[in-house]
Structure 1
């Protein structure tokens, strides 16, 4: 016999942070049970929907996302278990609590095999169902957090992201203002700038300053994932979708649910996948590889590139329609050589951070070193400056003038300036011409021709 919520039962879940934000779907053909569950959950959750059959439930699932489904096993013409098995085959990985008045060991085993997260026997008390709901939501949140940690997607100081947009230049003042404005929306943001200009730091700041900062931030390097598996990585796949798909798997969009997905090096996304990403942005749904079902998502998208996307569009390497959908709010990060006044605060920030991380006493940065830093063009931008500070900390000295960044003779010869810049980037890429060409935004063929001209 079910009962209404009591003051004691209410204390079960009021302190759980995930329950207050949860969106829950109840599927039960008994009006009394639906009403009881709605009365119990609605005051404690962000949203509760209740329907009497799987057809209505299917329409709701196709229209919006849910964090949890409470599913009755006996539903008129079919069982909840068979419907759950269909959902899992279609790539829907939402947590499910199965409730039933007729339970035995075989049913419990079938529930686990079908993918149910918990099993509650009718009749149950308010405290029982609330505990089951909280367990499922906490387990889901923990699974996502563990996934992120395993992939090392979140640095230990990510909560400090907003403060790491360092600089006193007019460009960085404008950047911080634009980040603050864009963070207040769910609009798609395109972050542009050369390699090493802190595009991921900017993306994290957008997330940390938003109203959903406690939700996941999942960065993805599109250039680091093989073209034949990136669709599965992003959207997930169902069992048997391809030869090695021995089981179903959630995609990165799933792990970013409610939060932010950061697509770095978006220009490296294969053309075929660009079309699918465009559809995701327009429809707010993803289709796991091998599935016939589209799953609603609630994800804020931030993309970044060091390439000229307009040029890529003109060359047929990037879809124009996707470019315009990504370029809703653009944040351009200028190279370090164009904001010399930011070099000193960045150097001092890196010195403080790295000395603490390495357990080494910070080094004073003499005026002579700062002058050399300010005269150097920093082809690797802030990342190169950080590496320079780290090396100095480890060695205990900034070295002689010829052992680090130094001022080079100024020249008005454009060809000489181009040669020096290309050779610096090639050196920073450790001789990897493909990587250097990517950083420079030119083709490998162009870089090979230049090197041949200079007998490099």
Structure 2
């Protein structure tokens, strides 16, 4: 069997626990296996090893059979743990056939007699690594095949399963839908799923209302006739016309100017549009799906959003939970994005360790799915598994002098300070900062304008 290429190993972040009561042997194996494993832990007894195993997953256990206290073969917790099963290589200085048979029956991957040549140990380790990687790759392929067969929306948590069921039930109707959720939760993905299950033959047309200048948005949506305004040399169809027979997705609907909200309300009521500069109404068959990361009810009360339009859009409200409230979906999302990004980037396919997945599940993810995907992409590009990536991030943060904000600061002051720090970190590039913060550039400009007015 070919040995696993050492050039491939750092990106898969394997882990090993060495259990031997001889300090020299623990030190020797630690040095010998350093190039093959991202995490190496050692213990002198089964009792100590079990304490370590409880707090971290290990792909491989290298265990001496004769140990003080319980023997290696009596490490029942590790041998019987099918959920967190590790490959096991047993070592012994006693060439007893019945001991070897007992070890193999107990679940050992290999059995090595002491003293041994280093090559013998490395060959045994590499065989275990190959088996481990093959199992992980098969598991990932099964997960991805299941995801493709069931839905393009990834997640099996109760909240996401309920969301999928609602989508399938309401998709065939022509009713307007309002999708709400934090930035990065996948609102456009939900809108696309509604369109795909609707049976509508027209196109799916996504529109980011926050990225279109307020004086151009009506022309973009409804089109215009020649001479309607300066520079309008010819007629032009709007996005509603392109979406006829299909679905138009109005993302960041909360950013839409009040004047445009009035025009959109007319479309919902009359099922027709009027191009800018035209006196004629054009009938359109368009299903409208709107989305926002704002609390639209609060915007209505503040007078920033029309109440009647809110109720016309909110025939059915779909709320996408933030990633922190469906932690159980992070593993499936991680497998999906890892496979997808490895193909897109042309990088080696990897499978993360249990430690990596636990690290991913422990993060707050303020940027939600978008932030998770960006983190996985960054890890693939840097060749750093998530656990190693966050260790480096933690070390970098320790170097910085800032350790948070005073408890006496109001939330508004914390928000301002954080936004300004992110913008400064991107050398004043507000567009790049907005992507990291999970807001539109228009929202960022509005924040700066408000702060400027407060300072004056």
TM bucket, shorter chain: 0.5 to 0.7
Q: 1:176 aligns with which of 134, 144, 164?
A: 164
Distance in 1, Cα, partners of 2:282 & 2:422: 43
For residues 222-233 of structure 1, what are the structure 2 equivalents within 5 Å? Answer: 222-233=209-220
Structure 1: runs of 5+ lacking an equivalent: 1-159
Check 1:422–1:445 CA distance in 2 against 1; reply closer, same or farther (3 A cut): closer
CA contact (8 A) 1:260 1:299 kept: yes
Structure 2: runs of 5+ lacking an equivalent: 1-147, 398-403
Superposed structure 1 runs of 4+ greater than 2 Å apart: 160-164, 398-406, 413-449
For residues 107-122 of structure 1, what are the structure 2 equivalents within 5 Å? Answer: none
1:402 aligns with 2:364: no
Distance in 2, Cα, partners of 1:385 & 1:294: 45
1:386 aligns with 2:389: no
For residues 10-409 of structure 1, what are the structure 2 equivalents within 5 Å? Answer: 163-212=151-200, 214-398=201-385, 399-404=388-393
Distance in 1, Cα, partners of 2:327 & 2:274: 47
Distance in 1, Cα, partners of 2:213 & 2:149: 29
Check 1:343–1:405 CA distance in 2 against 1; reply closer, same or farther (3 A cut): farther
* 1:112-139 per-position Cα deviation (integer Å, ceiling 9, x unaligned): xxxxxxxxxxxxxxxxxxxxxxxxxxxx
Distance in 2, Cα, partners of 1:350 & 1:179: 23
* 1:164-219 per-position Cα deviation (integer Å, ceiling 9, x unaligned): 3111221111111111112121110101101100000110010011111x420000
Distance in 2, Cα, partners of 1:416 & 1:347: 36
Deviation at 1:228, TM superposition (A): 0.7
3-state secondary structure, aligned to 2:224: coil
CA contact (8 A) 2:178 2:290 kept: yes
For residues 414-425 of structure 1, what are the structure 2 equivalents within 5 Å? Answer: none
Q: 2:447 aligns with which of 426, 444, 447?
A: 444
Distance in 2, Cα, partners of 1:171 & 1:241: 48
Check 1:400–1:267 CA distance in 2 against 1; reply closer, same or farther (3 A cut): closer
Check 1:401–1:447 CA distance in 2 against 1; reply closer, same or farther (3 A cut): farther
Distance in 1, Cα, partners of 2:214 & 2:163: 33
TM-score by length of 1: 0.57
Deviation at 1:359, TM superposition (A): 2.0
* 1:89-144 per-position Cα deviation (integer Å, ceiling 9, x unaligned): xxxxxxxxxxxxxxxxxxxxxxxxxxxxxxxxxxxxxxxxxxxxxxxxxxxxxxxx
Deviation at 1:400, TM superposition (A): 3.9
* 1:26-66 per-position Cα deviation (integer Å, ceiling 9, x unaligned): xxxxxxxxxxxxxxxxxxxxxxxxxxxxxxxxxxxxxxxxx
Check 1:414–1:324 CA distance in 2 against 1; reply closer, same or farther (3 A cut): farther
CA contact (8 A) 1:207 1:217 kept: yes
Rg bigger for which structure? 2
3-state secondary structure, aligned to 1:243: coil
Deviation at 1:403, TM superposition (A): 3.4
* 1:370-424 per-position Cα deviation (integer Å, ceiling 9, x unaligned): 2222221111110010011111111222244333589x9xx9x987996888877
Distance in 2, Cα, partners of 1:414 & 1:310: 30
Check 1:196–1:405 CA distance in 2 against 1; reply closer, same or farther (3 A cut): farther
Deviation at 1:233, TM superposition (A): 0.4
Deviation at 1:445, TM superposition (A): 6.7
Distance in 1, Cα, partners of 2:410 & 2:162: 29
3-state secondary structure, aligned to 1:220: strand
Check 1:427–1:297 CA distance in 2 against 1; reply closer, same or farther (3 A cut): farther
Q: How large is the Cα RMSD of the aligned pairs?
A: 3.5
Distance in 1, Cα, partners of 2:391 & 2:157: 28
